[in-house]
């Protein structure tokens, strides 16, 4: 399932605190929030406080939300005012786009889906900029902080980069579902489990009939079916 992309921009009146420099981005820096808040809540917290803490994008299991334009710097790398010199070491805050992956504190399925959404979104950004995977950095690369903590503690950084590379390939993960009447195929088990969980929860809440879950388990649910279910669930959910 794809994420929804939204923009909820920091007011320009807060640029002096949160986004003080103009920026020509050269890297993408990956973070884990170390929190269990949604992307919308992370962003509204960031926008509403007056701390020198900021980042461009937050990703959760449903949404990718951008809050700072990519031509403004943000405070997310712990390397201070640093440098804009691509050869300098301390440059994360000055020339990198900060992407926070939500729900990393407790992990679980919603974190897994958030991480997969980040993979897909970062792949899309790399393609837009014409960049290779070497442009993707972890927060740790800039100032040594143990971040993105969950990816690091599960020893999955290299695998995370590989997934982004795979997502950049045409016809593979970018648009895995070609037609609405195609049977759904999943390129990864986390995503499959997340979709099943999504359907099961809707069945448990009696928003949809259990036959949909049976169809999913039988491997006969099509992507068109799922789109229909998403609409029904969104309409019926309280």
Closest distance to Zn ion from the beta carbon of 208 (Å):
38
The percent of the chain in helix, strand and coil, each rounded to the nearest 5, is 45, 15, 45
Residue 139 as a binder of Zn ion (CB under 5 A): the answer is: yes
Residue 32 bridge partners (DSSP): 101
- When asked if residue 138 is in the footprint of Zn ion (CB under 5 A), the reply is no
Tell me the closest approach of the beta carbon of residue 215 to Zn ion, in angstroms. 41
| Alpha carbons 160 and 5: distance in angstroms, whole number | 21
How many Cα atoms within 13 Å fall on the side-chain side of residue 16? 1
**Inter-axis angle of helices 189-204 and 108-129, to 10 degrees?**
130
Number of residues that bind Zn ion (CB under 5 A): 3
| Between 14 and 31, CB nearer to Zn ion | 31
Among 43, 147, 161, 168, binds Zn ion (CB under 5 A): 147
Dihedral sign computed on CA atoms, order 170, 172, 177, 179: positive
CB of 31 to Zn ion, least distance (A): 3
Spatial separation of the C-alpha atoms in residues 196 and 209, rounded to whole Å: 14
Q: Give the x/- contact pattern for Zn ion in 1-40, rule: CB under 5 A.
A: ------------------------------x---------
Nearer to Zn ion, 139 or 163 (CB): 139
Instruction: Report yes or no: 118 and 61 within 8 Å, Cβ to Cβ.
Output: no
CB of residue 181 to Zn ion, shortest distance in Å: 42
Residue appearing with tokens 């999504």? 198
Q: State in angstroms the smallest separation of the CB of 138 from Zn ion.
A: 8
Pick 147 or 221: Cβ nearer Zn ion: 147
Residues making contact with Zn ion (CB under 5 A): 31, 139, 147
């Amino acid at each position: 399932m794809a994420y929804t992309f939204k923009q909820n921009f920091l007011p320009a009146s807060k640029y002096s605190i949160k986004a003080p420099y103009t920026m020509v981005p050269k890297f993408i820096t990956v973070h884990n929030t170390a929190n269990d808040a949604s992307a919308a809540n992370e962003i509204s917290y960031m926008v509403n406080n007056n701390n020198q803490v900021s980042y461009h994008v937050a990703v959760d299991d449903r949404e990718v939300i951008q809050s700072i334009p990519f031509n403004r710097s943000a405070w997310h790398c712990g390397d201070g005012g640093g440098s804009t010199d691509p050869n300098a070491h301390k440059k994360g805050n000055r020339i990198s786009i900060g992407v926070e992956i939500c729900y990393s504190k407790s992990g679980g399925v919603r974190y897994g889906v958030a991480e997969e959404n980040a993979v897909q979104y970062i792949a899309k950004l790399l393609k837009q900029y014409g960049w290779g995977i070497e442009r993707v950095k972890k927060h740790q690369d800039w100032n040594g902080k143990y971040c993105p903590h969950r990816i690091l503690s599960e020893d999955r950084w290299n695998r995370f980069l590989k997934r982004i590379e795979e997502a950049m390939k045409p016809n593979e993960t970018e648009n895995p579902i070609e037609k609405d009447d195609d049977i759904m195929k999943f390129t990864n088990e986390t995503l499959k489990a997340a979709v099943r969980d999504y359907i099961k929860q809707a069945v448990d809440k009696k928003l949809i009939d259990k036959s949909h879950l049976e169809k999913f388990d039988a491997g006969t649910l099509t992507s068109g079916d799922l789109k229909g279910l998403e609409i029904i669930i969104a309409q019926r959910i309280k």
